């Protein structure tokens, strides 16, 4: 394995990025770096940046690119990220992608994996998703936990998030098309983009990604 195996995973909301990142992180011994987790972790740690994030979130505003970029920079300085990382939720824009190149330097992104899933399918996945407000466990609307409203992991409330409602999903997908899809051209121009059919079982998607990583001699 190279000094750092840095992978970016892109795809529409509901494409299965989180599931695949967790699996691949375990396979390759590198951390799953999710910006959502980074933001929550910074707030919980109470670091100077974390207090700044908390202040922004409390005000209801969006966390700025500069702040997110600095948090990602700090994350890559942690011991468990010295062998690389799987980026999920970052970069979201071309500006963030360019900043990531500066952060990683010579150990840059080795591969950008685009999970391709039809809009109809991700809409169905998101609208049927239910989430525990306490531990973040994900359920389907047909699961007993969703029907009862109680998480079997921690006893927390299982709810449908406001942004998983049909109108909110449409807006989220429009934002993805506008801001994130240009990243596909960015990574393709660097010879780093591969597209994987996300409309398969999780095991099949994982196998397809691992085969590509192996073929490219990255692990």
Report the relative pairing of strands 138-140 and 129-132 from DSSP bridges: antiparallel
Q: Answer yes or no: 178 catalytic.
A: no
Q: Does a structural domain hold residue 38? A: yes
Q: Answer yes or no: 172 catalytic.
A: yes
Q: Answer yes or no: 110 catalytic.
A: no
Q: Does a structural domain hold residue 102? A: yes
Q: Does a structural domain hold residue 219? A: no
Alpha-carbon gap, residue 156 to 64, rounded angstroms: 31
The mean predicted confidence, pLDDT, of the chain is: 90
Q: With cut-offs at 50, 70 and 90, classify the pLDDT of residue 1.
A: very low
Which of 4, 12, 110, 129 does the annotation list as catalytic?
129
Other Cβ atoms less than 10 A from the Cβ of 169: the count is: 22
Report the relative pairing of strands 111-116 and 5-11 from DSSP bridges: parallel
Alpha-carbon gap, residue 154 to 99, rounded angstroms: 38
pLDDT, tens digit (0-9, with 9 covering 90-100), for 28-77: 999 999 988 888 888 888 888 888 888 887 776 778 889 889 999 999 99
Which of 4, 17, 23, 125 does the annotation list as catalytic?
17
**How many domains is the chain built from?**
1
pLDDT, tens digit (0-9, with 9 covering 90-100), for 195-219: 999 999 999 999 999 999 999 999 8
The domain of 196 spans 5-214
Q: Answer yes or no: 171 catalytic.
A: no
Q: With cut-offs at 50, 70 and 90, classify the pLDDT of residue 3.
A: low
Which of 102, 140, 161, 190 does the annotation list as catalytic?
161
Q: Domain of 110: which CATH number?
A: 3.40.50.300
């Amino acid at each position: 394995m190279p000094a750092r195996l840095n992978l970016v995973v892109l795809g529409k909301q509901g494409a299965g990025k989180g599931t695949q990142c967790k699996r691949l992180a375990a396979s390759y011994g590198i951390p799953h770096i999710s910006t959502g987790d980074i933001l929550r972790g910074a707030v919980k740690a109470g670091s100077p940046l974390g207090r700044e994030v908390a202040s922004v979130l409390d005000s209801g505003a969006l966390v700025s690119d500069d702040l997110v970029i600095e948090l990602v920079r700090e994350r890559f300085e942690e011991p468990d990220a010295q062998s690389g990382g799987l980026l999920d939720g970052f970069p979201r824009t071309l500006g963030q992608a360019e900043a990531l190149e500066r952060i990683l330097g010579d150990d840059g992104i080795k591969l950008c994996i685009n999970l391709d899933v039809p809009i109809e399918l991700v809409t169905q996945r998101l609208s049927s998703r239910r989430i525990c407000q306490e531990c973040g466990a994900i359920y389907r609307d047909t699961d007993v936990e969703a029907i009862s409203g109680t998480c079997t992991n921690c006893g927390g409330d299982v709810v449908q998030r406001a942004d998983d409602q049909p109108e909110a999903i449409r807006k989220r997908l429009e934002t993805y098309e506008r801001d994130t899809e240009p990243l596909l051209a960015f990574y393709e121009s660097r010879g780093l983009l591969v597209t994987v059919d996300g409309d398969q079982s999780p095991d099949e998607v994982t196998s397809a990604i691992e085969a590509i990583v192996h073929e490219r001699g990255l692990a």
